[in-house]
A and B are shown apart, each in its own frame.
Chain A
């Protein structure tokens, strides 16, 4: 047992009122996630509170539900494609923007923010029309491309903060000591901006895995991703199977956070 004093020293803050307010906010943020985990272990055919009996049967039934398995595979492929495309595009753009004199820089920065300024649902409409004309609807890679288009600013942002934190004199020193441009990039620039690339890639991958509105508009039954599949399942019935498949996302989120914490530290995401 910890004494009240040591508890206070460990968890207490200088802000007694604030800490209770924020504690309630944490509960509020966590509530839907926790409830999904609880409901996924319900044994009944519909979700009830409290759950009638505990059972893992919905997780077992997931394994034989081909719709969910296909949608999950699509989501992973699409998120991987989107991240693989965003890394070179985002790194080059961030380095170019922050290391070189660029004419019309403010205009270009505004242009690169288009994915954020255009409402997501409109981006979906735009890409539906465009991909439709190009004959790309029904292609899984096109869904991946769409996710790169709408989320690229996250990658540029993430890498930019690392690029700005790198002293240009270090690169100059490497060049003076005889390293070529490529060697300088590989041994000086890249290691310095790696945390930005890692956090940006993780963000792109997770956002790609979770993307909904644009995917809802541009996917077909063949290219349907997991969030869209879950959405149509919710509209159909409310079996705890949906809670089971949703809790996979909760697990993925927790794993992603642990990875982020181990590799670059969560603070990396707070830099802007």
Chain B
């Protein structure tokens, strides 16, 4: 036998020793596991449950902190109070930040979905594989680039010495400062969320049988009518998923309102961050956080009712 063959034999032997060992442990375990019905499934999902429990437990902690007393010197005093909640209810300045966050989130959700649908449709229906790959690359490069980097890119495009102002000045106009305007904020949010929207809507469009569209065309519907009455209704599960994901993500945006909103058009996230790190007022930050969760969840529930069941992987058994 050559050295190589010898090596191979011993490797195989070791492999089998392992497999035998695992098999014996397994059959010993199997007797115990199989006796409890469904226990094995619960055992398998337990690591996932454990990872998420950090958030679940922390959520309880958040409620606890929201009724603790804040003290400028000792920071958190373990005495119960409703003062943090009263502070929140009394400040209209704070309410306006919530309204702004909701307003821009709804606007951005609608814009993202409307802009994403043609993109998703073309990704699925285009015949040239070259174009299709180009579209996928165009989608994944921004998706894989983080929010800070992309926001910085928009600061260069829209800033005082930026690309747009260079074009504006070349055309003979006075330079404009876009940073800090609702336009810059909306552009940044849309570009950030568009890839998410396309990724959520594309699978729904992929599931649409092309013959349905052909049938509609044969029966005399034009392109728009086919789209409106065949494609759009069948894409609803994907659109629902996109609406919920984009709305939730936009509601907790931090970098884009801070950098493109120039600290003027701030969102709730910026408010929470300031409470945490400027005044170290954890109890007040906890209150703002709970209100943000509540607002987001209620609005998501409303959207769920409006659009029906989506493809978020929940409620699969209950077809509507």
A residues engaging B (CB < 8 A)? 10-15, 18-19, 21-22, 25-26, 28-33, 35-36, 39, 46-50, 85, 88-90, 92-93, 95-97, 99-103, 106, 108-123, 125-130, 133, 145-146, 148-149, 152, 156-157, 160, 180-183, 206, 209-213, 216-217, 227, 230-231, 234, 238, 242-243, 246, 249-250, 252-254, 256-257, 260-261, 266-267, 269-272
Q: Does B251 contact A119, Cβ atoms closer than 8 Å?
A: yes
Closest to A47 in B: B156
Q: Does B142 have its Cβ within 8 Å of any Cβ on chain A?
A: yes
10 contacts between A and B (CB under 8 A): A15-B125, A18-B121, A22-B119, A29-B194, A117-B297, A119-B289, A129-B62, A182-B22, A250-B141, A261-B133
Q: Which residues of A contact B65 (CB under 8 A)?
A: 129
Among A14, A133, A180, A261, point to the contact of B26 (Cβ < 8 A). A180
Of B27, B50, B61, most A-chain CB atoms within 10 Å: B61
Shortest distance from the beta carbon of B50 to any chain A beta carbon, whole Å: 8
Q: Does B285 contact A125, Cβ atoms closer than 8 Å?
A: yes
**How distant is the Cα of A127 from the Cα of B276 in the complex, in angstroms?**
13
B residues engaging A (CB < 8 A)? 19, 22-23, 26-27, 30, 37-38, 40-52, 54-59, 61-62, 65, 115, 118-119, 121-123, 125-128, 130-131, 133-142, 144-157, 159, 161-163, 165-166, 191, 194-195, 199-200, 202-203, 206, 241, 245, 248-249, 251-252, 254-255, 259, 268-269, 272-273, 276, 282, 285-286, 289, 292-293, 296-297, 300, 311-315, 317
Q: Does B141 contact A10, Cβ atoms closer than 8 Å?
A: no
Known pairs A18-B122, A126-B59, A227-B148; A90 contacts B293 (CB<8 A) = no
Known pairs A217-B276, A257-B137; A123 contacts B55 (CB<8 A) = yes
Q: Does B44 contact A96, Cβ atoms closer than 8 Å?
A: yes
Q: Which 7 A-B pairs have the closest CB atoms?
A: A32-B153, A100-B41, A96-B44, A210-B146, A93-B48, A119-B252, A126-B58
**How distant is the Cα of A49 from the Cα of B168 in the complex, in angstroms?**
11
Q: Which residues of B contact A266 (CB under 8 A)?
A: 133, 136-137, 140
